[in-house]
Structure 1
Amino acid sequence: MGPRRIAPFLLSFFLTHTAFAGDTSRASLEAISSTSNMAEATPVAPSSELLEWPKKDKRRFLHAVYRVGDLDRTIEFYTECFGMKLLRKRDVPEEKYANAFLGFGPEESHFVVELTYNYGVTSYDIGTGFGHFAIATPDVYKLVEHIRAKGGNITREPGPVKGGTTVIAFVKDPDGYVFALIERASTHDPLYQVMLRVGDLERSIKFYEKALGLRVVKTVDKPEYKYTIAFLGYGEEHETTLLELTYNYGVTEYTKGNAYAQIAIGTDDVYKSAEVVNQVTNELGGKITRQAGPIPGINTKITSFLDPDGWKTVLVDNQDFLKELE
């Protein structure tokens, strides 16, 4: 079997299976080492020239990675209820895990979810920090009735948001992950948003702008409900996948659990991108969990890091990623 065929198995195992909470894996040990080094480091402002790179780089949200207790059950729910397509599925019995990629279009051009099932593990702790994924649809009421007919768990009936006109609803999948259904006439990709809670919104915005070249698409402040939201992306709101960061007044920390893993983003130069992240973590917090380089056994180049709140991002070489899909 040629290297291109085995590469996806090894990449997925490295990025998801070995990162299982509690593992003393290579990634965990590197994270511990990075924590020690960061504690001794003196914050240094990143150079303005280096910070221009993320703004010029060809970046795109690739996929969100998280763990589920029954892979076939989740695939059935996403395809039957949401209308997603199963893009890839594979089983790696020698490593005791399986995973599947689902979305509304090919991975070359769409944001997708990567589900990981670890043999024998039927449930995970989602924690209090993860918020939801969002799916855009032209008719929320119709989609909710379809999901209800399929036995889905509707946790918020469709209707306008408080103080606004946008129609939304909330649904829980079989593992307890929340999906927001948002009524939009058109969008580049129905699966277009991931919401995470943060303890310092201004710090998080600066971090993602500098480290990843994201820009604020819009902000929403609701003092009557004691929260502020910032939406970040690589284009206009209807053209890009959005990272939604939510700050609840007075709440500075959240639990992460062991269910949600990370977001993967493509880059044309992993090494240069990692250099930026190194400098930004020194300035604003967070830590590198894997320095830039090819994954052992294959040629895919990655780097991974945690933001100041502990949310993980993996940067993947764009060309290597396309080779993984062949």
Structure 2
Amino acid sequence: MATDTSRYKLNHTMLRVKDPVESVKFYELLGMKVINKIPNPQWSFDLYFLAYDSPKAESAGNHWTDREGIVELTHNYGTESNPEYTINNGNDEPHRDICIAVDNLQNACDRLEEAGVAFKKKLSDGRMRHIAFAKDPNGYWVEIIGLKDQVITPTEVETYRMNHSMIRVKSATESLKFYTETMGMTLLRTHKSPEAKFDLYFLGYKREGEVENETLTSDREGLLELTYNYGTDDPESGFMGYHDGNTEPQGFGHICVTVDDLDAACERFEGLNVNWKKRLTDGKMKDVAFIKDPDGYWIEVVQNEGIKKRADW
């Protein structure tokens, strides 16, 4: 059977962390829980998969590959005790963030502040009073926005969503073409800010009832936000591109798409002449592939085990 991109899911965003104990504690404070851990002592790293998993969560109880809105934390052994190890958090020259949507925006931010969480931007800062940015233990930015239906009762983390991951792109045209035509996503919403000289594009795997470029996205999980700053694609600008997170110093690693049939999906990608980082046949890991997008960001491709069993994750 041929692969069907309508069954794909934007499964997770991978972040490298210095100390997994501190990082897991932080994301648990946001209401997430560790739904899977994959130790890899033979390669000296462990993977922690965190997601919203309460009865009110979108994919409660599903296999980790059969979800959207997961944060994967990668810990390379020894970094927690290495004073010289640094993380590229992507925002020293702003590149990217992840975003959660909450039921009571003010109360959710107050709760985090009371717990000692550092903020890059509080709700009261600047002109945008509907958005805040917290900082995780590694300095990664966590955007905080409101769900469509806000409540006046105390915030409940069980209702939160891991809404999107944002990456900055050099060319909006090239990236939109890649993510819609190659990866099979749909452009669900566009926000243009000519006065600030940037545009935002929100993409995801379209669900029933969603309308292309007209969907309210705050209540979704599994979205990708592309940020385009005007002029970066101008050959005369001299702009060379963004740090992809995988060259030194490392930090953000990749996003991951889970597919209905991994072999068929990779065969389709091969036919589209994608830029491979790793084919299924490369190396020892035969259940995972990596594609590079136009900016060099890595996209992991894995089998959705809820559709077809392949690996013992």
Q: Which category of TM-score, normalised to the shorter sequence, fits these structures?
A: 0.7 to 0.9
Query: Match for residue 178 of structure 2?
Result: 207
Aligned pairs, how many? Answer: 265
TM-score with structure 2 setting the length: 0.75
- Is 1:172 equivalent to 2:153 in the alignment? no
- Asked if the contact 1:161–1:168 (Cα under 8 Å) also holds between the matched residues in 2, the reply is no
Structure 2 CA distance for aligned equivalents of residues 301 and 62 of structure 1: 15
- Is 1:125 equivalent to 2:88 in the alignment? yes
Structure 1 CA distance for aligned equivalents of residues 167 and 134 of structure 2: 17
Instruction: Give the secondary-structure state (helix, strand or coil) at the position aligned to 1:292.
Output: coil
Query: Match for residue 107 of structure 2?
Result: 142
From 148, 160, 170, the counterpart of 1:185: 148
Deviation at 1:325, TM superposition (A): 6.9
- Is 1:100 equivalent to 2:48 in the alignment? yes
- Asked if the contact 1:63–1:112 (Cα under 8 Å) also holds between the matched residues in 2, the reply is yes
Query: Match for residue 217 of structure 1?
Result: 188
Q: Deviations over 1:76-119 (max 9, x none)?
A: 11112x11112233544443222211111243434211111111
Deviation at 1:242, TM superposition (A): 0.9
Instruction: Give the secondary-structure state (helix, strand or coil) at the position aligned to 1:167.
Output: coil
| Identical counterparts, % of pairs | 27
- Is 1:292 equivalent to 2:280 in the alignment? yes
Considering only aligned residues, what root-mean-square deviation do their CA atoms show, in Å? 2.9
TM-score with structure 1 setting the length: 0.72
Query: Match for residue 314 of structure 1?
Result: 300
Structure 2 CA distance for aligned equivalents of residues 272 and 312 of structure 1: 20
Change over 3 Å in CA distance of 1:264–1:155 after alignment to 2: same
- Asked if the contact 1:88–1:102 (Cα under 8 Å) also holds between the matched residues in 2, the reply is yes
Deviation at 1:155, TM superposition (A): 1.3
- Asked if the contact 2:162–2:221 (Cα under 8 Å) also holds between the matched residues in 1, the reply is no
Structure 1 CA distance for aligned equivalents of residues 200 and 244 of structure 2: 19
Q: Match of 1:314, as an amino acid? A: E
Normalized per residue, the structure richer in helix is 1
Q: Which sections of structure 1, spanning at least 5 residues, go unmatched?
A: 1-51
- Asked if the contact 2:3–2:261 (Cα under 8 Å) also holds between the matched residues in 1, the reply is no
- Asked if the contact 1:290–1:304 (Cα under 8 Å) also holds between the matched residues in 2, the reply is yes
Structure 2 CA distance for aligned equivalents of residues 219 and 161 of structure 1: 23
Deviation at 1:279, TM superposition (A): 4.2
Deviation at 1:292, TM superposition (A): 3.5
Q: After alignment, is 113-122 or 225-234 more displaced? A: 113-122
